[in-house]
Amino acid sequence: MTIIHNRSLDDIAETGPTLGGNAVTRAFSGGSIGRLIGMLALIAILGFLTIYPLAMLLYGSLHSTPPGLAGEFNLNGYRAIMTTQNFLVLINTVGISLAKTVPSLTIAVFLAWIIARTDTPFRGTLEVLITLPFFIPPILTAMAWGMLGNPQVGVINLVWRSISGSPDPLVNVYSYGGVVWHMCQYSIPFLFLFTVDAFRAMDPSLEESSRMCGASRWTTFRKITLLLMLPVLTSSFMLSFIRGIESFESPLFFGLPAGIKVITTDIYESINHRATPDYQYATSLSFAIMGLMFLLVIWQWALLRGKSFQTVTGKGFRPNVMELGPWRWVTFGFCVLFFIITVVLPVGQLLLGSFFRFFGFYTYEMLTLEHYRAVFSNSEFWRAVRNTMMLGLLGATATMALGAVVAYVSVRTRWRGRSLIDGMAWLPWMMPGMVLGVGFLWAFAMLPGPIPIYGTVWALLLAYLALGTPVAVRVMTGAYHQLSYDLEECSRVHGASWFQTMWRIMVALAWPAFAVGWVLTFFGIMRELSASILLYSVGSETLAVVLLKLWANGNAEQVSVIGLMMMLLVILFRWVQLRFIKARISKL
């Protein structure tokens, strides 16, 4: 099915005209040898970043001992995971992930539509505010929600009891609902960030045509707006669903007291809670899950194949902003309510608690600035900030550059091997973080001696590059799906070089997605612990490692101070992105 009759890839010849210029230009601009070299280079980079660590893990799943120890090849790991108990845990895990992904996506799409396509007041400010929870370390929001929603003395339940007189609590976060709710805190802003720019890049003439043909608003929304966003929606659904399967903090914090088991807790126990860590079991289970997840990717490929989703064409357009009249205050109220529940309540707890000696004990004599003093005078913290900022800036930029190239090749060319690199870029997302971290350790440490990666900051950078690539590719894929081929061709016809075309068309028009992806990747790096803890070396501690140390030592208030500072950084980045870069890049 072709949704709109723009030119699609099928109309474009597989081989373009041979161009002159230097080798790099040729590599990307259509020369068949150059193209081959470019593809091979991409495959080599992605192979090293994704296939190599996964191959080490595959070895671990097929060998009785981890790399470096004598043992034998067998299938004991895969045999061991085939139990009824594991099947039930898998069903439970899938159920939890679906229970959080479906409502999260619904709310995120609704919020994105409100922000991008309606005249809701203060939507520019709301756009930044409603995404804030995503950037706070999950353990902090878990602690805050524990204080708000525990059945005994949770603030919400105390208020409820005093109003209603009921002896029973209103909410209990230590339950399935609590696990799902805490996961939603992260998936809604994530999905919102993913979808909001796709709404912005929507050509309203398509919707207007639908309306003129007699379709209702609702039918138009379903059949035009949502269908046009299919690449973005399916990508974001899958990213969120897979991440839900791999979620660890929420089930551990809220699920364990309620006896809720998920796959990741089983993997964690097989590594940490057996006499000898059972890496064969952990990796086998992870690969089994990965196999199941890959079926989803294939489903998405089948769903999108042969369709065009271009909305940004050579014709000028402004995204239509729907005038809601008095209803705009309803949408405004919805956003504010969302902001209050997901941001003000938990972050308010963290902010308040950071000025008292202990969270939850808000008396005058407990007031202190000691936590701020302790953080600011902690030299290790500042060293970690320097390391993390450097890794974040470099890592996010490199990851987005790689993601943009992979997405470009995958979406906008017919080069042989494009599906392979698209698939390779998915792989790191499908492996639970705690297992993939071990894969990086094995991979980098086992490199031949002269290759100095393990024990250096490069190990961290390469791991972050691999971990961020799936999101980078998905973000850019969604954006590139929406750009018409006419634009590129028009640029080339007017004499622009390949790089000029890339910069003025593919970068300038896809920059909002690039910027969102950059922020997601940057903060992904700031929060990443599983690989960091296995790869950092003395002196190259990252912020996540320092947070772990503080948390492990019971300094939850200091962790909150750092969490709040990270949030301020997000606000700053988003402000720069929405105000400064927007103004500069639109002049390109």
Contact residues toward other proteins (CB under 8 A) are: 66-69, 143, 146-147, 150, 152-153, 174, 252-253, 256-257, 269, 271-277, 357-361, 366, 438, 441-442, 445-447, 449, 454-455, 533-534, 536-539, 545, 548-556
Looking at the Cβ atoms of 191 and 535, the one nearer to other proteins is 535
Least Å distance between CB 548 and other proteins? 6
User: What DSSP element (H or E) covers 396?
Assistant: helix 379-412
Looking at the Cβ atoms of 229 and 438, the one nearer to other proteins is 438
Q: Cα(81)–Cα(266) distance, rounded to whole angstroms?
A: 10
Pick from 87, 100, 83: which is nearest to 245 by CA?
100
How deeply is 573 buried, as exposed, middle or buried, from its count of CB atoms within 10 A (0-12, 13-18, 19+)?
middle
Looking at the Cβ atoms of 172 and 236, the one nearer to other proteins is 172
Least Å distance between CB 110 and other proteins? 34
Looking at the Cβ atoms of 191 and 260, the one nearer to other proteins is 260
Q: Cα(312)–Cα(484) distance, rounded to whole angstroms?
A: 6
Q: Cα(410)–Cα(422) distance, rounded to whole angstroms?
A: 6
Looking at the Cβ atoms of 264 and 521, the one nearer to other proteins is 264
What sign results for the dihedral spanned by CA atoms 53, 59, 65, 71? negative
Looking at the Cβ atoms of 266 and 488, the one nearer to other proteins is 266
Pick from 183, 264, 250, 313: which is nearest to 433 by CA?
264
Please report, to the nearest 10 degrees, the dihedral formed by the alpha carbons of residues 334, 336, 342, 343 taken in order: 170
Least Å distance between CB 343 and other proteins? 22
Least Å distance between CB 545 and other proteins? 8
Looking at the Cβ atoms of 445 and 490, the one nearer to other proteins is 445
Least Å distance between CB 441 and other proteins? 6
Pick from 433, 417, 521, 421: which is nearest to 472 by CA?
521
Least Å distance between CB 132 and other proteins? 22
Least Å distance between CB 83 and other proteins? 14
DSSP-derived secondary structure letter, 319: P
Looking at the Cβ atoms of 45 and 252, the one nearer to other proteins is 252
Least Å distance between CB 550 and other proteins? 6
Least Å distance between CB 442 and other proteins? 6
Q: Cα(176)–Cα(191) distance, rounded to whole angstroms?
A: 21
SS3 content of the chain, % helix, strand, coil (to 5): 70, 0, 25
Please name every residue paired with 118 in a beta bridge, in sequence order, or none if there are none.
Answer: 322
Please answer whether residues 288 and 111 qualify as being in contact, where contact means their C-beta atoms are separated by less than 8 angstroms: no
- Chain centroid to Cα 156, Å, comes to 30
Looking at the Cβ atoms of 144 and 424, the one nearer to other proteins is 144
C-alpha to C-alpha distances, 182 to 169, 253, 466, 515, 581, nearest whole angstrom: 18, 10, 26, 26, 33
Pick from 292, 272, 291: which is nearest to 282 by CA?
272
Looking at the Cβ atoms of 477 and 530, the one nearer to other proteins is 530
Please answer whether residues 101 and 244 qualify as being in contact, where contact means their C-beta atoms are separated by less than 8 angstroms: yes
Please answer whether residues 245 and 93 qualify as being in contact, where contact means their C-beta atoms are separated by less than 8 angstroms: yes
Least Å distance between CB 461 and other proteins? 18
| DSSP of 44-94 | HHHIIIIIHHHHHHHHHHHBSS-TTS---B-SHHHHHH--HHHHHHHHHHH
Least Å distance between CB 352 and other proteins? 14
Looking at the Cβ atoms of 35 and 182, the one nearer to other proteins is 182
Least Å distance between CB 341 and other proteins? 22
Looking at the Cβ atoms of 193 and 282, the one nearer to other proteins is 282
